[in-house]
Chains A and B, each alone.
Chain A
Amino acid sequence: MDIRRLTINSIRDGLRNREFSARELSIEALKFAEQENPRTNGYLRFCSARAMEQAARVDALVANGEDAGVLAGVPVAIKDVIVTKGVVTTCGSRILETYRPPYDATAVERIEAAGGIIIGKTNCDEFAMGSSNENSAYGPVCNPVAPGRVPGGSSGGSAAVVAQGAAVLALGSDTGGSVRQPASFCGVVGVCPTYGRVSRYGLVAFASSLDHIGPFARNVSDAATLLHVIAGRDVKDATSAAAPVPDYAGLLDGNVRGMKLGVPREYMKDASSETLSQIEGAVERFRMLGCEVREISLPSTGYAIDVYYVIATAEASSNLARFDGVRYGMRAEVDGGSLIDMYRATRGRGFGAEVKRRIMLGTYVLSHGYYDAYYVKAQKVRARIAQDFTRAFEQVDAILSPVSPFPAFKLGEKVADPMQMYLSDIFTITGSLAGIPCMSVPCGATSEGLPVGLQIMCKHFDEAPMFRIAHAFETSVA
């Protein structure tokens, strides 16, 4: 058994043929993950006791010949913005350094109900705010396939541990590209499903109209299976959709002949030449697979970054108001100070630089005199961006683009210039604003060996064709 190459299928076969037990596999997976972690800093902590308990449950079911679930025995990592009962959940922030959630996120519950083994919590940008994982209070994550470079963000830890083989699957969260961009930088598959497809219950809120929980995996089929497990209506999240959830993995037949794919001209002009040449290669491959590829236009694309950083920071400034030192997290006591003094000191000392910047920006755009000019205006332009997609999907079944304008950049390269960092999200943000499903699938590498990701976007609730396209591409390059 090579722990780094395990898949859902190979684990299922291994358990069935008694090659290993869930317990043995979990011990091996945890050992490997702990031993490899110093290379990436991808995990913030492991939850061995919880993993062993779950493994025992799975082994008992297998021994009795009962169905142990589609994820039986599969080691899964969880981004540290998703709560796990009794297991410290920090959101990459000092302010929550000791927070032990009293409940599990719905996605976590569903993974365990399907037999998955949660082995640890992964590093991320503080409160998922960042594009490089350099905003974590617990140190940056290093890209396991490109030493000295960032893994992308904000779900950098989840992408890194899946890429290095320290988990078979991981959950991340994607608000403006935080699953897709790190997946592309680390050469793994990352999915941001339709808004509402996966319950956000237990995902610590950053920007509620944009937040999604999404899977990471080393192949399309595994990502599709994980999404199937966590998707669907949940009474604990009123925005979760009741739409039926197809068996995504079961629908991967490799056939994409006759599908219409669009390539938006606005996305191609801003990408680096090496990224572009990989994407053009992918487009050629789809033609060979029998797809009809045409150029399309998404004319409002150029404004997406501005819209996103108005709406996301406005929602964040409101969502993060709850961190005040009273109910959870750290508290900075001020001698003889008032309640407000305590709030201010706690938040000033507990939050990092990027979180403070976004709270400030969000508070500003919502403040008296600026609300209409920034916030309402941004919501109107958001509607135009969503309309662009609606029109495009009248002509095509899916849209192809780069995930990021450039591959993984060097650690430290963009920290000093927040606007440059924000611009790295330019191709992922539009889909987030429209609420459509999008994913990153590995698509070759640059001459330096840096992975490039192909983004596939489909219309609301069309994850099934999105996976089919990704899988056909993956199979054709293998």
Chain B
Amino acid sequence: MKLTEKEVRYVADLANLELSEAEVQGMVKDLGEILDHMDRLSLIDTEGVQPMRQVLFPASEAATLRADEPGPCLTNEQAIANAVNAAQGYFRVPLVIER
């Protein structure tokens, strides 16, 4: 197989994604097959080709930038309205730094 169980767990850790045992097994198979297919990319000659990092059109790079001026934005109340756990204008999360 292209991908080991250990690698799947490592990648899931990088992605902050909890996977069940069955999901890990499924990923080993599915991702392995997809990556095998993707390996065909190594067959194509791209010597001297610049990577296409943007879908750019003939325009100066700064042409689409707006003036750097503050405008209206969400109020604090609107910004936290969708949080499951918020109080006194802040998002609440489990303790990060112990004193």
Contact = CB atoms under 8 A, between A and B. Distances in A.
Contacts of A103: 74
Given A196-B55, A357-B31, A381-B46, A306 B38 contact: yes
B16 A347 contact: yes
B18 A379 contact: no
Given A339-B94, A364-B31, A418-B34, A380 B15 contact: no
Majority DSSP secondary structure for residues of A touching B: helix
B17 A347 contact: yes
B64 A102 contact: no
A209 interface: yes
Contact of B64 (A242, A357, A364, A381): A242
Nearest to B49: A380
12 contacts: A233-B64, A242-B64, A309-B38, A339-B93, A342-B94, A345-B18, A356-B19, A377-B46, A379-B52, A382-B52, A384-B49, A418-B30
B34 A339 contact: no
Interface in A341-397: 341-345, 347-349, 351, 353, 356-357, 359-361, 363-365, 367, 373-374, 376-384, 386
Point out which of B33, B46, B53, B95 has the most chain A C-beta atoms below 10 A from its C-beta.
Answer: B46
Interface residues of A, number: 75
A305 B81 CA distance: 40
Given A344-B17, A374-B41, A330 B84 contact: yes
B15 A327 contact: no
B37 interface: yes
B54 interface: yes
Given A242-B64, A303-B40, A344 B14 contact: no
A25 B95 CA distance: 54
Nearest to A373: B42
A155 B71 CA distance: 33
A329 B91 CA distance: 13
Interface string B1-13: 0010001100110
B44 A364 contact: no
Given A327-B91, A342-B94, A359 B41 contact: no
Contact of B46 (A235, A240, A345, A380): A380
Given A241-B57, A344-B18, A384-B46, A374 B38 contact: yes
Nearest to B33: A419
B52 A383 contact: yes
B51 to A, nearest CB: 3
A286 to B, nearest CB: 28
Nearest to B56: A435
The 4 closest A-B pairs by CB, nearest first: A348-B18, A379-B51, A328-B82, A380-B46
B55 A338 contact: no
Contacts of A60: none
Contacts of A367: 11, 14
Contact of A419 (B3, B14, B34, B50): B34
Majority DSSP secondary structure for residues of B touching A: loop
A435 B55 contact: yes
A460 interface: yes
B20 to A, nearest CB: 8
A342 B74 CA distance: 26
A342 B91 contact: no
B87 interface: no
A238 interface: yes
Interface string A65-109: 000000000000000000000000000000000111011000000
Point out which of A209, A235, A306 has the most chain B C-beta atoms below 10 A from its C-beta.
Answer: A306
Given A300-B44, A383-B52, A418-B30, A363 B15 contact: yes
A19 B79 CA distance: 44
A29 to B, nearest CB: 29
A386 B55 CA distance: 10
Contact of A238 (B46, B52, B64): B64
A422 interface: yes
Interface string B66-87: 1000000010001111111100
B15 A100 contact: no
Interface string A295-326: 00000100101110110000001000100111
Given A240-B64, A347-B16, A367-B14, A357 B82 contact: no
A241 B64 CA distance: 7
